[in-house]
Amino acid sequence: MMTPQQIAQQIEPLTLEERLGWISLNYPTASFSTSFGKEDQAITHAIGSASLPLRVFTLDTGRLFEETHALAAITRERYHLEIQTFFPETQQVEALVTAKGPTSFYESVEARLECCRIRKVEPLRRALQGTAAWITGMRRGQSENRAHLPFAEWDAEHELVKIHPLLDWDDARLDAYLQAQNVPVNRLHAKGYPSIGCAPCTRPVPQGQDPRAGRWWWEDTTKKECGLHLHQGENA
C-alpha cells in the first residue's frame, strides 16, 4: 500500500486526465465526490470523456440551489454518467427542524456544524463505505485553510486516502480548461458565486474577496469548512 507521499510523487507530474487514470488503475474502488462546482465539473468532464471506471457520487442536502439541480441534470445527460445521490436521514432532519427550526444554523458555529453534520457529514460516511480512495476537487487557492494541502493525505475519520488531482491549479488554469472543453458550469458563477453550497448558507462575493467568503459569511473568516474535509487534526 502506497503512502500519501508516494501517491503525490506519482501524480504530481501528470496531467489531470493522467492523474485520474492513474488513480483508477491503482485504486479500483476509488470514488469521486461532486458538488457540481467548477473544480468538480472539470474532474467530471475528464472522467466522462475518457470513460474512466471511477464511481461518482453527490450529497443532496435538501437545501441546494435550483441552479445546482439543473446543472446536475445537464451533467448526467452530457457525460452519460450514473451519479449516485445520498440524502440525509429523514428522521435526523425532522428532529432537528422540529426542535430548533429551519434556520438554527445562523445562531452559532455549533448549530451550523450540527446542521452540516446531519445534512452532509453523515451522508458522506455512508457514501464512502467500501472506498479506498476519495477524489476531491479541492485546490490550494480556494481558501487559507487549504493553502498547504498535499496532493494526497490519509483521512483517519474514514480510513482511506484522499487525493486532490486539481490541487495545484489556479483560477486561470481552471477557467481556461472549462472554456476550452466547453464544460457546463453552474449559472450562479456568473452572478458572483465562486463557491456554491446550500442556498441559505451561500451568498455572492464581491470581486477580489476570498472565493469562500460567501460561505457561512456570518462566521469567523479563518474557518470555512463544514466538517467534510478535515486536515491534520482540524475539526471544522
List of residues 6+ apart from 225 with CB closer than 8 A: 145, 234, 236
Which region, left, alpha or beta, applies to residue 48 given φ > 0 means left and ψ of -120 to 50 means alpha?
alpha
What single string gives the DSSP state of each residue in 58-111?
EE--S-B-HHHHHHHHHHHHHHT--EEEE---HHHHHHHHHHH-TTGGGS-HHH
Q: In terms of C-beta density within 10 A (0-12 exposed, 13-18 middle, 19 or more buried), how is residue 222 classed? A: exposed
DSSP tag of 162: E
CA nearest neighbour of 81 among 73, 89, 69: 73
What does the alpha-carbon distance between residue 60 and residue 233 come to, in Å, rounded to a whole number? 26
Which residues are known to be catalytic? Answer: 226
With CA atoms as reference, report the closest residue to 32 among 5, 59, 70.
59
Cell of 149: 494541502
